[in-house]
Amino acid sequence: MNLILILLLAAVLCVPLTQRLGLGAIPGYLVAGVLVGPSCLKLVTDVSDMVNVSQWGVVMMLFVIGLELAPKRLWAMRREVFALGAMQMLACGLLLGLVFGAALRHMAGMGWQAAVLCGLSLALSSTAVALRLLEERGLTRTPMGRSALGVLLFQDMAAIPMLVAAGLLGAGGASAPSFKEALVAVAVVAVAYRLRLLGWAAKAQLKELFTAAALLMVVGTAQLFDYAGLSAGLGGFLVGVLMAESRYRDELETAIEPFKGLLLGLFFVAIGMSVNLSVVADHWAFILAGVSALLAVKVAVLYGFARVLGLPRYHRLLFAMVLAQGGEFSFAIFNEAWDNHLMDLDQRDVLAVVVAVSMGVVPILIKLLERVPERLGGMADLPEPEPDPDPATAGGRPDASPRVAPPTASDTVADTETDTATDTATDTAPGRPRA
């Protein structure tokens, strides 16, 4: 109970302050985490458990994003996911591996394996930060937002083999995720989808039961994927895509949204707690140079890709800046590399601080650039974002048919919940009288 009070008080004090300063909410959560964490006031000391719990915010966010992407539209994004995502990872990973690998080898003798892994880890971007920045600006359904989402999805998939590689290259001897377990996880999700758990819960006409069923579906799928050695976030995203054309899509988003917001805030607070201020004091010059190098390399590479993609000129810099920060998966990869003796404790802590600082700096830089006139290289007075021309953007589905609410008592009796074309055509919106 004391922990909840501490976290709520820190967030309520810090976030409105950074909002008033025009810096956005993310720096406020990070500052709150630093203040209550083990490096400052020491009100919270068990940071690892906080990070583990807060990861559910990322899972919930990816689920909501999945609800906006019907399978047909996701297939239409294959170029952004696999082509653009792979090129970004390779280009940024190689450049950052050379820069940070050379610097850390000079400082503390980092091996080439760790240098490559370090570069690829820093090439990852924070899904939580990037999507929050896009949502705040209403850009998630623009071509730029679609491209950014494609890159983030590929990065989430690429993080899994990187975690495995950290174990295989080091002394831990970790094994790759079992294909059989992964197949079982996907099969269970498909079977659960066919069982129509939400329809069963909706018939009870209890809002809290429907919310519980929605949470069970998201959390259960994420846990299955985690058990199979896959990304829990990818599990949440997959079940969101499966439900994108569901009659309960709107209600699912409404039920999950409060949990997503709270857990995402907790995630940023946990990242702030992980910042070791003693490491910052001892290696401030390297951290400053590291954050600058990280942002410079990623902005340059991503801006170039934005030009190749043909994004509007006024969206290229924003696309690059939104994806320039380090990612949340980087912390897990650094920790795995340290556990397997690929890097020492100081190297892990320094790299973790570089990533955490980049998460806080990027929203501030974007806010500042939005106040700089366009003629000086800023983003002030830019045109309004154009909506995604893809027709699937309307509600995340290929068609623009109205979404359907959970059934009421009058419709529960008549609803057979079959998948036939006849039922789909004749079923009216729940809660409305039938003709």
CA dihedral 120, 323, 52, 346 (to 10 degrees): 50
The model's confidence at residue 403, banded by pLDDT at 50, 70 and 90, is very low
Task: Average the pLDDT over 281-306 and give the result.
Answer: 93
Instruction: Specify the pTM.
Output: 0.71
The model's confidence at residue 87, banded by pLDDT at 50, 70 and 90, is very high
Residue 373's DSSP bridge partners are: 380
Phi, then psi, of 279 in degrees rounded to 5: -65, -40
Q: What was the pLDDT predicted at 297?
A: 94
Query: The tokens of 147 are what?
Result: 């491209």
Which has the higher per-residue pLDDT, 315 or 374? Answer: 315
The count of other CB atoms within 10 Å of the CB of residue 242 is 19
CA distance 15 to 30: 9
Q: List the domains of the chain with CATH numbers.
A: 6-45 (no CATH), 46-272+279-380 (1.20.1530.20)
Q: What was the pLDDT predicted at 195?
A: 58
Decide if 56 contacts 125 (C-beta within 8 A): no
CA-only gyration radius of the chain, Å:
22
The average confidence (pLDDT) of the chain is 78
Q: What was the pLDDT predicted at 294?
A: 94
| 32 has a pLDDT exceeding 60 | yes
User: pLDDT, tens digit, for every residue of 115-143?
Assistant: 888 888 999 999 888 988 998 888 888 88
CA distance 377 to 370: 10
What does 216-252 look like in DSSP terms, one character per residue? HHHHHHHHHHHHTTS-HHHHHHHHHHHTTTSTTHHHH
Whose tokens are 């419709």? That residue is 411
Helices (H), 109-178: 112-123, 127-136, 143-169
Task: Average the pLDDT over 409-421 and give the result.
Answer: 42
Q: What was the pLDDT predicted at 405?
A: 43
Measuring CA to CA, which residue among 245, 250, 197 is closest to residue 221? 197
| 307: Cα within 13 Å, side-chain hemisphere | 5
Task: Average the pLDDT over 91-101 and give the result.
Answer: 86
| 283 has a pLDDT exceeding 80 | yes
Q: What was the pLDDT predicted at 382?
A: 59
CA distance 29 to 57: 14
The model's confidence at residue 98, banded by pLDDT at 50, 70 and 90, is confident
In three-state secondary structure terms, 414 is helix
Q: How would you classify residue 431: left for phi > 0, otherwise alpha for psi between -120 and 50, otherwise beta?
A: left
Q: Between helices 207-227 and 179-195, what is the axis angle to 10°?
A: 160
In three-state secondary structure terms, 423 is helix
Decide if 39 contacts 30 (C-beta within 8 A): no
Sequence letter at residue 267: F
Phi, then psi, of 431 in degrees rounded to 5: 90, -5
Instruction: Please list the helix, strand and coil fractions of the chain in percent, rounded to the nearest 5, in that order.
Output: 75, 0, 25
User: pLDDT, tens digit, for every residue of 339-367?
Assistant: 778 888 888 888 889 998 999 899 999 98
